[in-house]
A and B are shown apart, each in its own frame.
Chain A
């Protein structure tokens, strides 16, 4: 198991996949394997924060985890209980079709134990509002690469207010040309300069869960 964690942290894809398969073949509890993956992701995150790892490493970590999850899926009989998990609703705002940043944040939130609902790209304010009503998240993340996303973010926050949901959620923004200034403009609660920072803020907001 330690070797798996090490391979994951050091971006040794082939080695990590081989080790995971070996462990499963030997009858290792798949949940234990997932826990090891989670621990490895913390290692990756900490290297990112130290400035040793960058976006490609997060992508590769996500890719390795995806492959291992696929191996494990058929072995888990019941869906993992989502009880007690913090909920995060994420989407790219109206008029913007970019999703790479959003996808990375989604993957990292999953790896950090959040229950995430990704409503997709080019989402109008009403879809965020509907999503909040249905999913009841603690946190809403709005993504956008373009400067034209600023107004969509502002309108989305306004729509959430108008629906009487603003005090039910905390809102963060991220992507492209976003900044603290844009956060103020949109009326969000935080600006995340990168994916790891976004996860960190989310963890702070939810007491680490």
Chain B
């Protein structure tokens, strides 16, 4: 079989330029005026220059990760944010228009009603398993059994449709009866294909899915309004698409942390094969979701690859090969993977520096940024990692000092975006403002 996603494509550079042009043009954005449009384009350019490593930007873009802070800042509960779309809209607007950051963070929220309709089991959310003032939280479990690797490998889509969805969406249990689709290829196979869709349980499931879809359209329309308003005032979105490392798809949501860790000892070959099998799908998912938003940066949160979660050998055997393929696959389509390395990546810096120059953002949480700059600065833009614990517990002076130190060690000569190491939920508003102000002050490059 032909090896894909290994080499950088000759036209990757050109494709990236084209996508930056599309992102910078912001054609679908209802700009408030010529000034707002100019401010938007200037901010895109700051980020572009930091990413491409071709020249030093005029200043460091300040793009902290909002997380659930805007809700708290506006005084609405997590429950309100998931059920009262108008309240969510106001909160997100207030946060962005008050703080004047260099990027817009689309809220990491979904419609609670839609989750209810689908009887979603993968997470608990405010008013549904966790208290109304709390954020949604993942429910660890083995949603895929250890013995199901070959079901996943043979046909990932069938596995999701017939097994995973019925387990994580109570309302979609009848999807268990959908037949294997490549089997439907003859006139006599139409009846076995159509039959399940006529049953009462399936009708109910499809109605639920339609209702969840309608609810979600309403929710997204509100998000579209707030995005249009904030971007229209001159703030480009920080990311605009999503995908994951294949190992994390399995380790987070299918097998769970414990499951995937034991699988590395018990069935390493199946695990590796499953990661490979998911790779082109994760590339495509990132490409499609970015295209839909007209953005260049798919957000890729990395979970199980952190220091401590895997040995170096395990990281290089199970995690990195297919993540690198996803990176190359996206880069070859002109996209800039925004790799959010949660936890520490101090032991991974050498390995993860094997990426094409000026094509990715490595965004760190608890990694030593001085070391990251040394090891990665020549190939990749780094972003991070103002500590959220300091925003929650610290004092103004500490915050300013920390900003200065961070910018001095990570921001030297460009190739750096200022952000936080995690979402800012729980932060003191005065501390957030002090951080933003300090980052803007210290982030101006001398000509």
Contact = CB atoms under 8 A, between A and B. Distances in A.
Contact of B311 (A53, A95, A185): A53
Given A56-B264, A194-B308, A185 B257 contact: no
Contacts of A98: 137-138, 140
Contacts of B131: 95
Contact of A96 (B137, B261, B264, B314): B137
A147 to B, nearest CB: 4
B308 A146 contact: no
Contacts of A178: 389
B310 A56 contact: yes
B140 A100 contact: yes
Contact of B390 (A63, A146, A181): A181
B310 A63 contact: no
Contact of A182 (B257, B264, B389): B389
B135 A148 contact: yes
Interface in B308-351: 308-311, 314
A123 to B, nearest CB: 13
Given A100-B257, A146-B137, A177-B388, A55 B130 contact: no
A184 interface: yes
Given A147-B422, A150-B426, A60 B261 contact: yes
B139 A97 contact: yes
Contacts of A181: 387, 389-390, 393-394
B134 A148 contact: yes
Interface in B246-290: 257-258, 261-262, 264-266
Interface string A128-163: 000000000000000000111011000000000000
Given A95-B134, A97-B130, A63 B262 contact: yes
Contacts of A184: 393
B137 A59 contact: no
- Interface of chain A: mostly helix, strand, loop or mixed: loop
Contact of B262 (A52, A59, A182): A59
A38 interface: no
Given A55-B261, A97-B130, A147 B310 contact: no
B309 A54 contact: yes
Contacts of A42: none
B392 interface: yes
Given A54-B311, A184-B393, A179 B261 contact: no
Contact of B265 (A56, A148, A182): A56
A118 interface: no
A151 B265 contact: no
Contacts of B211: none
Counting chain A CB atoms within 10 Å of each CB, the highest count among B131, B140, B389, B390 belongs to B389
A99 B140 CA distance: 9
Interface string A172-183: 000001110110
B437 interface: no
Contacts of A194: 308
Counting chain A CB atoms within 10 Å of each CB, the highest count among B390, B393, B422 belongs to B393
B353 interface: no
A34 interface: no
Contacts of B423: 147
Nearest to A54: B311
Nearest to A182: B389
A11 B268 CA distance: 14
Contacts of A57: 311
Interface of A: 11, 13, 52-57, 59-60, 63, 95-100, 122, 146-148, 150-151, 177-179, 181-182, 184-185, 194
14 contacts: A52-B311, A53-B311, A55-B261, A56-B314, A59-B258, A95-B131, A97-B129, A100-B140, A100-B257, A150-B393, A151-B426, A181-B390, A182-B389, A184-B393
Given A97-B130, A147-B426, A181-B390, 7 more contacts: A54-B314, A55-B308, A98-B137, A98-B138, A122-B130, A147-B392, A177-B388
Closest 5 CB pairs of A and B: A56-B261, A185-B393, A59-B261, A147-B426, A54-B311
